[in-house]
Amino acid sequence: MARTFDELVEMQRAADEAHSRVLELQDAYGRPTATPWSTQQTEEYQRAWQHWRELAGTVQAAVTGHAREQDKPRFDIEAAVRTKAWHPQPEPAAE
């Protein structure tokens, strides 16, 4: 399915949010080898990690398809998507 550049940016933001959740859980629970996690903590972490990996894989595949459709280097598309996702430009003020 063809994706627009803005859709790719939104997909990247969703993957980034999911990754942030994984990092939050790591911070909250500590290292599992230093402080054993409960079954609930392990399951919650695994769900968050899997969700992040699925979103990341989906955005990577979409970036590859978009680059192929636009006949542009994949790296250039990925860099532009991440730049816009991580550093959005403010909307111009309405007069």
Q: What are the sequence ranges of the domains in the chain?
A: 5-29+39-86
78-to-5, 58, 59, 61, 95 alpha-carbon distances in Å: 10, 13, 9, 11, 34
Say what the pLDDT of residue 34 is.
83
Give residues with Cβ within 8 angstroms of 35, minimum separation 6.
Answer: 29
**What tens digit of pLDDT does each residue of 7-66 get?**
999 999 999 999 999 999 999 999 888 889 999 999 999 999 999 999 999 999 999 999
Distance CA(17)–CA(48), nearest Å, equals: 10
pLDDT of 1 above 90: no
Say what the pLDDT of residue 47 is.
97
Distance CA(13)–CA(24), nearest Å, equals: 16
